[in-house]
Structure 1
Amino acid sequence: MEYAANYAAGQMGIAPEVVYFIEPENYIVTKFITGKTIPPDVIKTPDYLARVAKKIRLFHRRGPKLKGEFNVFRRVEMLTKISKSNNAKFPHDWDWIMQKTKEVEKALAKDPYTPTPTHNDLLNLNWLEEDVPGDIGEIRLLDWEYARHGRYLL
């Protein structure tokens, strides 16, 4: 799945292009891009959010059929269980956050669900801005290991 998603995203200009795939290890070699990560305070600005949304929408609309499904609600439950079993500390309002999460899931369940290719790990460190002298470089989305079909929200 990671290879298929990364390959398609590279062809669409969303990710660095895949130049080689090594089987059976499933190693992906992509084109090297000189660039920098985008800090949290920068990526949340309106200009960057518009650029991010454009790339994500393109993948949602034109991405390949992927095996498996990613459900963010089940993922949060699983990670919460693991964290609690390891005595991790949670925010004081965690129960309220989880209650709101269940409300969002219930509201989304009222809308027909069409599985869509999704990336599922939009951490700012997975975005790279190309370093292009005297110009604004493209942003590229890295790390496609969680790519599956899921519910898109953009």
Structure 2
Amino acid sequence: MSDLHIRCATPSDIDTVLRFWRDAAEGTSISDDHDGVARLLARDPEALILAERDGVLVGTVIAGFDGWRCSAYRLAVHPDRRRQGIATALLEAVEQRFVALGGRRVDAMVLEVNEQAHHTWAATGYHREDHWRRWVKPL
């Protein structure tokens, strides 16, 4: 994986990331727009982690920490680049970030219908907690 470059996103990456998510991410979020990602980067410049190979975006993950909980969102790898260790490298970067911030456990948002993602998360040591459900209210 020495040719894989992991780095934090900058505001100049926002449009590229949004295009990437349209091709590589499952589902959509109410925050999947320029303003939403810009707010994330303004609040926490190290939260959006990118994986690049040969200068091309091949994977993303959001590693959000609010001082209480460590949350992983938007783990996405380009369909043509899956099964190459990119998700594993991104999750290692997430975990290193959280440990450095004093985090104790990572909570991950994973779509129920995305069976492929379930295998990825399980292969990297995560497990499902069936006693929790996500409750939401758009603002």
TM-score (normalised: structure 2):
0.28
Of Structure 1 and Structure 2, which has the larger fraction of its residues in strand? 2
Structure with bigger gyration radius = 1
Of Structure 1 and Structure 2, which has the larger fraction of its residues in helix? 1
